[in-house]
């Protein structure tokens, strides 16, 4: 029997991380920091593990963690959420996405996706019985126009899945772009599944605007966050969902049969972390921005056509501008010949795109970045770049 997953390749993140291990490469592919997140948050998780409780928490999440979610989004994004009816804890942003898509998309529904897109979206939409309709974001700023949207929105459109800040494009969408998208969602009566897992990782003082706060979108948005990204603890897989009760109730019905719940000690620690004040989140951004500046500056000096990163752990290099017409093949060569792993953006498209771009993760410690850059310098020399 064929399912939506049968013919899928292994996710590009695992492919490149495996290649990185095989070639003893510096792994600037998969997006995880070298260093673990704040010790106080880990200590709260450790204490809660020993002290308990360690039995099934409530299906929607621990009551106090859900209060912390509502408090957090009130403080940072001016959202007014009822913790008891409008928040839920999941096992990662990934499970939140799966729950939302499986719960809200049915046979014959069309779902608007924006490519390059996080690679989980399309298989989940198909598994739910839906048909993806793709908007190809316009390089270099990964923008879209009203015409781009009108080409794919139809009376059959049930939902959009929209990622902001964008992984892999590393842009943060402005209120103008969000309002344009909102206009179409309202006109076509569409639910917006908004993957905002990178909401706190934005640079240069750029504001992050949640789709839920855009006029007309409050009750048609399923907002998805990830504690992994907020606290540099990507292995924890704790997701945060916010949605109006009719949507949240539906999403919870999928969640109850996917994971039902999430380890209680991690929920307790995430609740503690969500109550951190603005200075924690400012220092998270500052530390990552220093790494971004270091990596992007060094790559620019070597002659790589690197684009500025507005948010996320990533920066992208337009290898198409170097005459390379197969980013995946080039990424493999970079691992095998030069010992640096990256992620080719073609993996995030339904068909081979006209662009050829690599994504590099700069959320690494100094030693990893320096060794990665030294190897990229050797590659630059071989490619005949100016460095
Ligand atoms: N969406 C996007 C855009 C992501 O980048 C990631 C993590 N790389 C996820 C979802 C998954 O989040 P989590 O690790 O919390 O499942």
Per-residue pLDDT of the chain (387 residues; tens, 9 = 90+): 677 788 888 888 899 999 999 999 999 998 999 989 999 999 999 999 999 999 999 999 999 999 999 999 999 999 999 999 999 999 999 999 999 999 999 999 999 999 999 999 999 999 999 999 999 999 999 999 999 999 999 999 999 999 999 999 999 999 999 999 999 999 999 999 999 999 999 999 999 999 999 999 999 999 999 999 999 999 999 999 999 999 999 999 999 999 999 999 999 999 999 999 999 999 999 999 999 999 999 999 999 999 999 999 999 999 999 999 999 999 999 999 999 999 999 999 999 999 999 999 999 999 999 999 999 999 999 988 864
Phi, psi at residue 355, to the nearest 5°? Answer: -95, 155
pLDDT recorded at residue 79: 98
37 is written with which tokens?
């997140």
Phi, psi at residue 159, to the nearest 5°? Answer: -155, 160
Residue with tokens 């929607």: 60
Q: List all residues 6 or more positions away from 249 whose beta carbon is below 8 Å from its beta carbon.
A: none
Beta strand 191-195 with 221-226: parallel, antiparallel or unpaired?
A: parallel
Distance 60 CA to ligand 1 centre (A): 20
Distance 167 CA to ligand 1 centre (A): 9
pLDDT recorded at residue 1: 64
**Ligand 1 in contact with 363 (CB < 6 A)?**
no
- 57 DSSP 8-state letter: P
CB atoms near residue 78 (< 10 Å): 10
pLDDT recorded at residue 385: 84
What residues form DSSP beta bridges with 191? 159
Distance (Å) of CA 204 to CA 75, 288, 289? 20, 11, 8
- 193 DSSP 8-state letter: E
**Ligand 1 in contact with 91 (CB < 6 A)?**
no
**Ligand 1 in contact with 32 (CB < 6 A)?**
no
Distance 93 CA to ligand 1 centre (A): 5
Taken as a whole, the chain contains a residue count of 387
Separation of first and last alpha carbons in the chain: 53
Instruction: Give the whole-angstrom CA distance, residue 279 versus residue 106.
Output: 43
pLDDT recorded at residue 8: 86
Distance 385 CA to ligand 1 centre (A): 34
Q: Which ligand 1 atom is the nearest neighbour of the CA of 97?
A: 10
Q: Whose CA is nearest to atom 8 of ligand 1?
A: 31
Distance 343 CA to ligand 1 centre (A): 15
Distance 375 CA to ligand 1 centre (A): 28
Q: Which ligand 1 atom is the nearest neighbour of the CA of 163?
A: 3
Contact 113, 121 (CB under 8 A): yes
Instruction: Give the whole-angstrom CA distance, residue 114 versus residue 1.
Output: 29
- Helix residue spans in the chain (DSSP H): 12-22, 39-51, 63-77, 83-86, 92-104, 121-127, 146-152, 175-187, 227-230, 245-258, 264-274, 278-302, 327-338, 366-383
**Ligand 1 in contact with 118 (CB < 6 A)?**
yes
């Amino acid at each position: 029997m064929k399912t939506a997953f049968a013919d899928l390749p292994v996710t590009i993140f695992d492919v490149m991380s495996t290649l990185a291990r095989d070639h003893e490469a510096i792994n600037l592919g998969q997006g995880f920091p070298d260093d673990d997140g704040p010790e106080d948050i880990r200590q709260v998780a450790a204490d809660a593990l020993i002290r308990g409780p360690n039995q099934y928490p409530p299906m929607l999440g621990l009551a106090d963690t859900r209060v912390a979610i509502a408090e957090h989004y009130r403080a940072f994004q001016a959202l007014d959420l009822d913790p008891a009816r409008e928040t839920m804890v999941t096992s990662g942003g990934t499970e939140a996405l799966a729950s939302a898509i499986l719960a809200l998309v049915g046979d014959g529904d069309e779902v608007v996706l924006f490519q390059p897109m996080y690679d989980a979206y399309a298989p989940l939409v198909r598994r739910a019985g839906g048909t993806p309709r793709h908007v190809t974001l316009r390089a270099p700023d990964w923008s879209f126009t009203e015409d781009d949207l009108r080409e794919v929105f139809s009376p059959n459109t049930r939902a959009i899945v929209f990622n902001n800040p964008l992984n892999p494009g590393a842009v943060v969408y402005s209120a103008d772009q969000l309002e344009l998208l909102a206009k179409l969602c309202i006109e076509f009566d569409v639910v917006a599944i908004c993957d905002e897992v990178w909401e706190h990782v934005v640079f240069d003082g750029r504001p992050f605007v949640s789709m839920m706060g855009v006029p007309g979108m409050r009750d048609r948005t399923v907002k998805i966050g990830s504690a992994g990204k907020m606290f540099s603890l990507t292995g924890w897989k704790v997701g945060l969902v916010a949605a109006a009760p009719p949507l949240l109730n539906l999403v919870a019905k999928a969640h109850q049969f996917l994971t039902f719940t999430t380890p209680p000690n991690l929920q307790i620690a995430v609740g503690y972390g969500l109550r951190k004040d603005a200075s924690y989140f400012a220092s998270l951004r500052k530390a990552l921005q220093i790494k971004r500046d270091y990596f992007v500056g060094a790559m620019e000096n070597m002659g790589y056509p690197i684009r500025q990163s507005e948010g996320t752990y990533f920066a992208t290099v337009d290898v198409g501008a170097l005459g390379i017409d197969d980013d995946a093949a080039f990424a493999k060569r970079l691992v095998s010949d030069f010992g640096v792993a990256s992620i080719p953006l073609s993996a995030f498209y339904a068909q081979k795109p006209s662009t050829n771009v690599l994504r590099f993760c700069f959320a690494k410690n100094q030693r990893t970045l320096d060794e990665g850059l030294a190897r990229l310098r050797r590659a630059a020399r071989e490619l005949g770049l100016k460095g």
